[in-house]
Structure 1
Amino acid sequence: MTDVWDPPTVLRAAADWSWVPPDAECLTTDVTLTRWPAWAHGRVVLTGLSSQRAPGDVLRGAVEQARAWRSDTLGVWVSASSAPDLTGELLARGARLEDTVDVLARTLDEPPHDSAERVVVRRVTDVDGLRDADHVETVVWDQQPMDDERLAENARALLAEHSAEARVVAYLDDAPVASAGLTLAPAPYPGLGTVARLWGAGTLPDRRGRGAYRAVLVERLRIAYAAGATLALVKGRVSTSARILRKAGFERYGEERYYRLTL
């Protein structure tokens, strides 16, 4: 990485980023509580930990709101920059560690030179392309498929003139097998340009190991570079995608952990 994107700045960019599904309900104070919509399992997730309150106070308030939303669980993302660190409080309450992701990044000083010739990758430019992406995501992420109304709404937002989002789909034998997205966001400090947040990459289980994940990664890096982004940022699962990303030139800067607390 360059001196401009030093480790603390990369971690700041990662801390500024948490996924919020469309149609979710958010409550933001010194932390952020999000109630996901029914199609995304209706989870309640605590993120954006930047509070001066004691860990017990933060978690108590989040639990009360989750119960008010009639949720029987609370998810919490914790990182090295989280304040306060809720790990001890969560474990004392019996929370279970469910996921760990590496914070990975690479600068975009030049266009990617990686080859992705084994599969065909297309950027989503219409409802049909979005339907192909949704087909993959329904299987990979175990979520409800979009109906025609949601497809049309999402396509309008994605293809709007000033949209900061892009989606890509990988095909083998003309069938969609992998999908992924990216969002362009401001850097955490002035003068650093734009961050390309890479998210949602997944491959159908019976099509893994054939280069589709790598292909959608390369295509998103090309899109990000063409859009003028200076950093590509991704949170990759330690057990799966993190290894592929390291081979593609990404460096590890830390990790984030997801705990699930039963209420």
Structure 2
Amino acid sequence: MNLDAVRELFDTEMRRNAGERLGPDFGHVVRHTGGAQGWNAVLWSDLTEDTADAAVAEQVRHFTALGLDFEWKHYSHDRPEDLPQRLLAAGFVPEGPEAVMVGEAAGLATDPVLPDGVRLLEVTDKTGIDLMVRAHELAFGEDSSRLGHQILARLTEAPDTLSVIVAMVGDEPVSAARAEFDPGTQFATLWGGGTAPEWRGKGIYRALVAHRARTATARGYRYVQSDAVLDTSRPILQRLGFAQLSITTPYNYSPTQGS
């Protein structure tokens, strides 16, 4: 892959064209307002040292007026270079950085190889979403009910844009992952993939990647993209053939914390 060309394509299709686009009066910002149960975020910006502070303040005003928490999804190639420091000064709280990994879907679309006793279940209804939520809670140790509401709504309203898969051992979910398919783009995005501690290191994550890559290829997507934890999932994705485009860090803002 030509990483510079793929990075530019990713920025155009998955960031600049993926939300409400605000003009120069707002510092060239793209944001998504999903409401109390949805995702609220700044996806992309084209800022300078002269426009950054005003643009940050405007997004804080917008989401605070709606009473919504939101994230500014920052990428290491974004400008200005000191944007992270400006976000911190405005009251944002960063999460851990993740690598933006991209691979060519056709080259990753192999047969999933699962350990004995593990099967993959395609999710099509609320019962399946409940299994997905349980798997995420086992893997990450945090409440995933809000994510469950979001995914169920998307599965109900736009099922063709989503594929959710749960790895099962008997009746117990041990891992879950999803692929999202944005119409008009060349990228399928991979999410989740966390595995219950006792089932890690057995190839389930790799099998979930292969399954989703096959689905993406069948739907005509050229690339698959995933945000990977630097020290855990990034090495696995690199061994599978993914390359790193950037580093992304969510900077979170809550009206409560900013008051």
Q: Tell me the SS of whatever aligns to 2:60.
A: helix
Which residue of structure 2 aligns with residue 176 of structure 1? 173
User: What is the CA–CA distance in structure 1 between the aligned matches of 2:132 and 2:57, rounded to whole Å?
Assistant: 38
Where does 1:160-239 land on structure 2 (aligned, <5 Å)?
Answer: 163-185=160-182, 194-239=186-231
Amino acid at match of 1:251: A
Residues 45 and 152 of structure 1: is their aligned pair in 2 closer, same or farther, counting only changes over 3 Å?
A: closer
Q: Tell me the SS of whatever aligns to 1:12.
A: helix
User: What is the CA–CA distance in structure 2 between the aligned matches of 1:228 and 1:221, rounded to whole Å?
Assistant: 11
- Could you say which structure has the higher helix fraction? 2
| TM-score for the superposition, normalised by structure 2 | 0.75
Counterpart check, 1:46 vs 2:42: yes
Counterpart check, 1:108 vs 2:108: no
Deviations 1:80-102 (A, max 9, x none): 44344522312444644322111
Residues 156 and 78 of structure 1: is their aligned pair in 2 closer, same or farther, counting only changes over 3 Å?
A: closer
- In the TM superposition, residue 10 of structure 1 has moved relative to its aligned partner by 2.1
User: What is the CA–CA distance in structure 2 between the aligned matches of 1:151 and 1:10, rounded to whole Å?
Assistant: 28
Deviations 1:47-89 (A, max 9, x none): 2213566111111112222332335x65322114434452231
Deviations 1:144-166 (A, max 9, x none): 2689x98875543354xxx1221
User: What is the CA–CA distance in structure 1 between the aligned matches of 2:73 and 2:3, rounded to whole Å?
Assistant: 20
User: What is the CA–CA distance in structure 1 between the aligned matches of 2:67 and 2:126, rounded to whole Å?
Assistant: 34
- In the TM superposition, residue 127 of structure 1 has moved relative to its aligned partner by 4.1
Unaligned runs of 5+ in 1: 19-25, 189-193
Amino acid at match of 2:252: R
Unaligned runs of 5+ in 2: 23-27
Contact 1:186 1:195 in 2 (8 A): no
| TM-score for the superposition, normalised by structure 1 | 0.74
Where does 1:62-81 land on structure 2 (aligned, <5 Å)?
Answer: 62-70=59-67, 75-81=71-77
Percent of aligned pairs sharing the same letter:
22
Among 5, 10, 17, the residue aligned to 1:9: 5
Residues 206 and 66 of structure 1: is their aligned pair in 2 closer, same or farther, counting only changes over 3 Å?
A: farther
Give the superposed CA RMSD.
3.3
Deviations 1:240-260 (A, max 9, x none): 321221122111122112223
